[in-house]
């Protein structure tokens, strides 16, 4: 194996600039309180397992670049997803199996690009909850974890504003009362790094850097109808574009990967909260547009989706007595999608596909366009019973799926397409049992079934299978929480997850018509996670988190490691307040993800290209380690105006972490695609 060459000083400077662009702080209202909650298993009982982090503490944390939502990347139960950490890999589930909600409305992504920034400003977030598995019956449609964000109510008394501007991006936020009971909140952010970084003349920019291009905007009109009822009209939008290129002196061997995602959400949220009950109704509509493509030599392979989403979420929580509470609700969501795909069967690659960057698209290609519609209507209920030292939460969710496609066979001449409509139903029982050993310790055990409908693109008669049904997962967990002192808490949780009905690729050289995929895949994940939390005391706060796990997937080809399997993930974070100063440090360690080894290549004279030959089994990328430091200083310019200045030191040990391999055209040599070099980020934020 060839040792990866040391990067040139200019390459390091360019990487510093690009990553600094991605890591610049977002514009938001830092002085207003925020609550970040991490729940291993949500319940209706007030004795929930949770991790709370204030807005300023989250922003001051090393490695967050001033974004409170990035605290998720240092929590137990999550594997590291690669450079940036933009994907959430919870308890051995693929990123697309984890669901993300804002005020009960599902979003397609939580971060811009590869995790450089969350799609919502920190000032908008009132509470963030993460469950790696075993969550309650009001949420479904996913086999993995759950992220929920509740937006924060604006200040009804006075206006607030913030402004952030640097060579990397620009953002602004405004909260304005329009009367005694009406408030308007608006935020906008636009990247700048994509405008100047590509102008630099360096051959390595395309291969080593993903030049980020993103923007987002939020608008909310909130009205207090009465002291205990509010109505909100919210609009959210986000756009991302990322390009990665393998440079070559031969234009015929240059490969370009592109990823684009743009989405909008509009929703109306009504909340009425009284003593002992809470009613919430949220109808919504949205539009998603995404494209992933690989091109070289004029050959192109890509997938494009345009989806209109719609639905409603309603729930009623009732406290029937001091020992009994009930929650009833309806969760309905539909998506009408137009799917367009071109190229070979194996690009874009699926989880489990042997693939390396540098692999040319196949010259054998097909083109297909079809429409799909997936509707899920799910009534649910949850009952919580408390008696003595025991608390039992039992839930039931009934999902009725309608899966429609306008084409069940590949296009054949002038033969008109024939569609198919199917109705399926699933039952998902959920349960959590907690036992209080003493006031400082309690045990808990949880179990639940979860289902997920097939992705629209997988219903393709040419590239997928229009007969695919929902996949299923069983979540089991057993753990203990112990309060070691007034401010120190230890949480230990073991988990097991079994998956079946997963869409997996046929191993046949010539698959049956409309049977390129089959729902015969399965998998399992098991392990244990630890967290030792120090809540704010004498200026100190932080936690130590660890996850030990193993994740496997099985199909017709046998059992293999999950693409994101990482046996050990560690994170340690500590913060200290000293007057107007704040100091923070974060260290992270993770096992390398599996990769199918390339053992050689064959030359295809017909297509004039080399084709990689993959070995059996897998090898791991080198282990990851990174140490980050941060210092903040607050300057109170006036009674209402504050300036925040910070200095972030990232990867201070100068470790060259390998994020992936990049192969030569003939696959005889490979080079490490390294991550973040050492850097210093100096920034400022002005807030009123």
Instruction: Give the 3-state secondary structure of 445-501.
Output: EEEEEEEECCCHHHHCCCCCCCCCCCEEEEEEEEEEEEECCCCEEEEEEEEEEEEEE
In the predicted structure, residue 16 carries a pLDDT above the cut 60: no
- Do the domain assignments include residue 528? yes
- Do the domain assignments include residue 146? yes
Structure tokens at 530: 């630890």
CB proximity list for 439: less than 8 A, separation 6 or greater: none
Structure tokens at 400: 């009725």
In the predicted structure, residue 336 carries a pLDDT above the cut 80: yes
Residues 373 and 336: their CA atoms lie apart, in Å, by: 4
pLDDT band at 61 (very low <50, low <70, confident <90, very high): confident
Q: Nearest-5° angle of CA 50, CA 56, CA 60?
A: 100
pLDDT at 470: 95
- 61 or 234: whose pLDDT is higher? 234
> Which tens digit of pLDDT belongs to each residue from 227-268?
899 999 999 999 998 877 766 666 666 777 788 999 999 999
pLDDT band at 30 (very low <50, low <70, confident <90, very high): very low
pLDDT at 168: 72
In the predicted structure, residue 19 carries a pLDDT above the cut 50: no
- Do the domain assignments include residue 1? no
Contact 138, 331 (CB under 8 A): yes
- 632 or 381: whose pLDDT is higher? 381
Q: How many CB atoms lie within 10 A of CB 19?
A: 25
> Which tens digit of pLDDT belongs to each residue from 176-207?
999 889 999 999 999 887 777 666 544 443 34
Interval 80-104 mean pLDDT? 86
- Do the domain assignments include residue 4? no
Q: Which of 167-171, 422-426, 586-590 has the lowest mean pLDDT?
A: 167-171
CB proximity list for 22: less than 8 A, separation 6 or greater: 65, 84, 113, 114, 116, 117, 168, 193, 212
pLDDT band at 48 (very low <50, low <70, confident <90, very high): very low
For 344-463, strand residue ranges (E) read 366-387, 390-405, 420-438, 441-452
Residues 416 and 469: their CA atoms lie apart, in Å, by: 25
Residues 206 and 297: their CA atoms lie apart, in Å, by: 17
- 14 or 559: whose pLDDT is higher? 559
Task: Give the highest mean pLDDT range of 125-129, 404-408, 547-551.
Answer: 547-551
- Do the domain assignments include residue 3? no
Residues 520 and 133: their CA atoms lie apart, in Å, by: 23
Residues 191 and 213: their CA atoms lie apart, in Å, by: 6
Q: Would you call 14 helix, strand, or coil by DSSP?
A: helix
Contact 270, 281 (CB under 8 A): yes
pLDDT at 274: 86
List the domain range (segments joined by +) for residue 246: 9-687
Residues 216 and 236: their CA atoms lie apart, in Å, by: 8
Number of domains in the chain: 1
Residues 617 and 561: their CA atoms lie apart, in Å, by: 9
pLDDT at 209: 55
Q: Which of 366-375, 472-481, 527-536, 663-672 has the lowest mean pLDDT?
A: 663-672
Task: DSSP for 65-116, please give it.
Answer: TT-GGGGGGGSTTEE--STT--S-EETT--GGGSEEEETTEEES-SEETTTT
CB proximity list for 609: less than 8 A, separation 6 or greater: 297, 360, 603
Task: DSSP for 109-167, please give it.
Answer: -SEETTTTEESS-GGGEEEEEEESS---TT--S-SS-EEEEEEPPPPSSS-EEEEEE-S
pLDDT at 50: 43
- 198 or 377: whose pLDDT is higher? 377
- Do the domain assignments include residue 27? yes
Residues 320 and 398: their CA atoms lie apart, in Å, by: 23
Give the largest CA-CA distance in the chain: 77
> Which tens digit of pLDDT belongs to each residue from 400-452?
999 999 888 887 767 777 888 999 999 999 999 999 998 889 999 999 999 99
End-to-end CA distance of the chain: 56
Q: Would you call 531 helix, strand, or coil by DSSP?
A: strand
- Do the domain assignments include residue 2? no
- The rounded Cα 314 to chain-centroid distance in angstroms is 24
| CATH number, residue 144 | 2.40.170.20
- Do the domain assignments include residue 338? yes
In the predicted structure, residue 32 carries a pLDDT above the cut 60: no
Task: DSSP for 230-252, please give it.
Answer: EEEEEEEEEEEEEEEEE--SSGG
For 506-641, strand residue ranges (E) read 517-537, 540-555, 558-561, 568-578, 581-590, 594-595, 598-604, 609-614, 619-620, 624-636
In the predicted structure, residue 121 carries a pLDDT above the cut 50: yes
CA distances, 210 to each of 17, 244, 257, 354 (Å): 12, 6, 10, 23
CA dihedral sign of residues 98, 29, 585, 15: positive
């Amino acid at each position: 194996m060839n040792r990866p060459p040391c990067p040139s000083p200019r390459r390091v400077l360019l990487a510093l600039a690009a990553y600094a662009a991605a890591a610049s702080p977002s514009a938001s209202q830092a002085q207003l309180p925020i609550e970040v909650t991490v729940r291993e298993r949500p319940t209706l009982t007030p004795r929930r397992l949770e991790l709370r982090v204030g807005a300023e503490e989250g922003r001051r944390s090393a490695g967050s670049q001033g974004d409170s939502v990035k605290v998720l990347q240092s929590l137990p139960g999550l594997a590291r997803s690669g450079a940036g950490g933009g994907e959430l890999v919870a308890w051995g589930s693929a990123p697309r199996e984890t669901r993300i909600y804002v005020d009960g409305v599902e979003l397609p992504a939580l971060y811009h690009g590869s995790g450089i920034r969350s799609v919502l400003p920190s000032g908008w977030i009132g509470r963030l909850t993460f469950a790696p598995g075993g969550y309650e019956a009001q949420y479904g449609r996913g086999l993995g974890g759950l992220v929920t964000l509740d937006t924060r109510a604006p200040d009804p008394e006075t206006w607030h504003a913030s402004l952030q501007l640097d060579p990397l991006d620009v953002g602004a936020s405004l909260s304005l009362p329009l009367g005694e009971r009406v408030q308007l909140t608006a935020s906008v952010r636009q990247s700048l790094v994509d405008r100047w970084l590509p102008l630099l003349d360096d051959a390595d920019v395309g291969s080593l850097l993903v030049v980020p291009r993103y923007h987002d905007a939020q608008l909310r009109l909130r009205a207090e109808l009465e002291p205990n009822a509010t109505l909100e009209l919210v609009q959210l939008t986000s756009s991302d574009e990322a390009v990665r290129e393998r440079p070559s002196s031969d234009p015929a061997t240059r490969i370009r990967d592109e990823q684009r995602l743009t989405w909008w959400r509009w929703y109306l949220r009504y909340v009425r909260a009284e003593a002992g009950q809470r009613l919430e109704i949220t109808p919504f509509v949205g539009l998603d547009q995404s494209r992933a493509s690989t091109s070289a030599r004029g050959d192109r392979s890509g997938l494009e989706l345009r989806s209109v989403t719609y639905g409603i979420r309603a729930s009623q929580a009732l406290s029937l007595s001091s020992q009994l509470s009930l929650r009833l609700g309806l969760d309905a969501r539909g998506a009408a999608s137009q799917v367009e795909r071109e190229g070979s069967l194996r690009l874009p690659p699926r989880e489990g596909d042997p693939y390396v960057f540098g692999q040319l698209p196949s010259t054998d290609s097909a083109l297909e366009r079809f429409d799909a519609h997936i509707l899920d209507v799910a009534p649910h209920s949850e009952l919580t019973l408390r008696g003595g030292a025991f608390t039992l939460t039992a839930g039931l969710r009934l999902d009725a799926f309608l899966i429609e496609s306008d084409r069940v066979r590949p296009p054949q001449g002038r033969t008109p397409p024939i569609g198919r409509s199917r109705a399926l139903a699933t039952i998902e029982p959920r349960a959590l049992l907690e036992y209080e050993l003493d006031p400082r310790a309690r045990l808990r055990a949880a179990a639940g079934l979860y289902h997920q409908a097939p992705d629209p693109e997988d219903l393709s008669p040419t590239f997928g299978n229009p007969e695919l049904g929902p996949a299923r997962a069983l979540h089991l967990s057993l753990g203990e929480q112990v309060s070691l002192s007034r401010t120190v808490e230890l949480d230990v949780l073991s988990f097991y997850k079994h998956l079946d009905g997963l869409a997996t690729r046929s191993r046949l050289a010539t698959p049956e018509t409309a049977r390129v995929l089959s729902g015969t895949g399965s998998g399992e994940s098991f392990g244990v996670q630890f967290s030792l939390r120090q809540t704010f005391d004498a200026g100190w706060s932080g936690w130590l988190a660890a996850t030990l796990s193993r994740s496997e997937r099985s199909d017709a080809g046998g059992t293999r490691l999950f693409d994101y399997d990482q046996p050990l993930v560690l994170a340690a974070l500590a913060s200290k307040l000293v007057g107007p100063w704040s100091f923070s440090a974060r260290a992270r360690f993770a096992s390398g993800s599996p990769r199918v080894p390339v053992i050689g290549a064959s030359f295809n004279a017909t297509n004039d290209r080399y084709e990689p030959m993959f070995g059996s089994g897998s090898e791991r990328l080198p282990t990851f380690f990174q140490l980050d430091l941060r210092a903040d200083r607050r300057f109170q310019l006036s009674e209402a105006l504050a300036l925040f200045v910070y200095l972030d030191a990232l990867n201070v040990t100068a470790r060259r972490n390998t994020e992936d391999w990049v192969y030569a055209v003939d696959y005889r040599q490979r080079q490490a695609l390294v991550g973040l070099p050492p850097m210093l980020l100096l920034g400022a934020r002005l807030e009123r």
